[in-house]
Amino acid sequence: MKYVDEFRDPELIERVAREIRRTVDPDYDYRIMEVCGGHTHSIYRHGLRDILPQNIRLVHGPGCPVCVLPMGRVDDGLSVAGQPDTILTAFGDMMRVPGTKGTPLEYKARGCDVRMVYSPLDALRIAQNNPEKHVCFFAIGFETTAPSTALTILRAKAEGVKNFSVFCNHVTILPAIRAILDSPDMRIDGFIGPGHVSTITGCRPYEFIANHYRKPVVISGFEPLDLLEGILMVLRQLRAGQARVENQYRRIVPWNGNGAAMRALADVFELRPYFEWRGLGFISQSALKIKPAFAQYDSEVRFELPGVRVTDPKAAQCGEVLKGVLTPPQCKLFGNACTPEHPIGALMVSSEGACAAYYKYVAKPVEA
């Protein structure tokens, strides 16, 4: 147990681990999906797989917003950076994600005005400070982040800012989970539900997974103890033949979510009929689009974007890893052609990407 000294309460961890061992059926191979990339990161960082019984496999889900963005969308966003008198702004996570002709950082090195921001409001501020330029914000993220973009667009409108638009790549997690459940090559016994997404959506939206697909969902926090408890709660439901939505992360996640944030989403966005996810293909009603009433803030309306589909480099198996069909080291490029220094896929860029986490904590383990 590599990171056990970092655990806040090793004894408590050991107690939950023991309880997990008592609860599992030794003759069954469990497949539990942690939906959120933050969970994936924590699982690798803390070596949780070494604590769990061998017959529990944690399958990494699609909950890393950078990782699920297809390369064609990255290219579309970057095509804005090439236009005269424009400034492209993006979160730090996007800066090293490769498009066909390079990463945002490489575009910047070539002389394009690409700037990293920590908040969509910073992008709006840049627009206000540079009235002679157009500022595009490359928006990514799940329900956790989308309300902030919505409020920023409302703010731009309220302040009459005319030189600001958003390239909207916000996605919603539930249709992706549904796609995974409907996929014939995937068997998942239960889910560790996302923590911070649920702060906004609440726990109700997951009920179809329990009611319709008969799979337990436990919304969990990110600490080792949270995750182990979440896994134990899933196992207990499975053992009792139940399927319910439970909230392990009650200290942060309210059952009903954040109403004001959900209203902001509904005010500014509508669902796209379909959207392409890397690895999962086109999923209907899985992404947000800026409503026509706010068209002047929609980069897809203001700019002519190429909108081409780009397939991933042939040997890259990001899609399979994203679906949990392969583990990171099973990708032929892992650790040789694709490393955090020279990433080929986004899963190797984002700290929430399975490949980056595996590379950092498992392939090159830090000595305890």
Partner 1 sequence: MCLAIPGQIVEFSPEQPLLAKVDVAGVKRAINIGLLADEPLELGDWVLIHVGFAMSKIGESEARDQLTMLAALGEDAQAMEEVRGYTFAP
- State both tokens at 268: 């500014």
Please state, in angstroms and rounded to a whole number, the distance separating the CA atoms of residues 305 and 351.
29
Are 249 and 198 contacting, i.e. CB atoms less than 8 angstroms apart?
A: yes
- Applying CB under 6 A, the span of 21-29, 213-221, 224-232, 325-333 interacting with ligand SF4 comes to 325-333
Q: Which does 39 bind (CB under 5 to 8 A by kind): ligand SF4, partner 1, none?
A: none
Q: Which does 260 bind (CB under 5 to 8 A by kind): partner 1, ligand SF4, none?
A: partner 1
Task: Spell out where the chain has E strands.
Answer: 30-36, 56-63, 86-90, 114-116, 134-141, 164-170, 190-193, 217-219, 245-247, 269-271, 274-277, 281-284, 288-290
* Best CA proximity match to 183, nearest among 30, 314, 64, 319: 319
- Answer for which of 62, 77, 104, 147 binds partner 1 (CB under 8 A) is 147
- Applying CB under 8 A, the span of 38-46, 268-276, 284-292, 293-301 interacting with partner 1 comes to 38-46
Cα atoms in the 13 Å half-sphere on the side-chain side of 178: 15
If the CB atoms of residues 68 and 210 are measured against ligand SF4, the closer one turns out to be 68
- Supply the minimum distance, in Å, between the C-beta of residue 256 and partner 1: 10
Per-residue interface string for the shown chain with partner 1, residues 206-245, x marking contact by CB under 8 A? ---------------xxxx---------------------
Of 294-353, binders to partner 1 (CB under 8 A) are: 350-352
Tell whether residue 334 is a contact of ligand SF4 (CB under 6 A). yes
Are 169 and 181 contacting, i.e. CB atoms less than 8 angstroms apart?
A: no
* Type of residue found at 47: G
- Supply the minimum distance, in Å, between the C-beta of residue 355 and ligand SF4: 3
Please state, in angstroms and rounded to a whole number, the distance separating the CA atoms of residues 152 and 124.
7
If the CB atoms of residues 31 and 360 are measured against partner 1, the closer one turns out to be 360
Q: Which does 344 bind (CB under 5 to 8 A by kind): partner 1, ligand SF4, none?
A: ligand SF4
- Answer for which of 344, 350, 352, 361 binds ligand SF4 (CB under 6 A) is 344
Please state, in angstroms and rounded to a whole number, the distance separating the CA atoms of residues 85 and 79.
13
DSSP per-residue codes, 45-89: HTTHHHHS-TTEEEEEEEE-TTTTS-HHHHHHHHHHHTSTTEEEE
Q: Which does 333 bind (CB under 5 to 8 A by kind): partner 1, ligand SF4, none?
A: ligand SF4
Please state, in angstroms and rounded to a whole number, the distance separating the CA atoms of residues 170 and 167.
9
* Best CA proximity match to 60, nearest among 366, 362, 288: 362
Which residue number is nearest to ligand SF4 in terms of Cβ?
345
- Applying CB under 8 A, the span of 1-9, 178-186, 227-235, 300-308 interacting with partner 1 comes to 1-9
Q: In the structure, how many helices (H) and strands (E) does the chain have?
A: 15, 13
Q: Which does 117 bind (CB under 5 to 8 A by kind): ligand SF4, partner 1, none?
A: partner 1
- List residues binding partner 1 (CB under 8 A): 6-8, 36-38, 41-42, 45-46, 64-66, 91, 93, 117-122, 124-125, 140-142, 144-145, 147-148, 151, 155, 195-197, 199-200, 221-224, 251-252, 254, 258-261, 264, 350-352
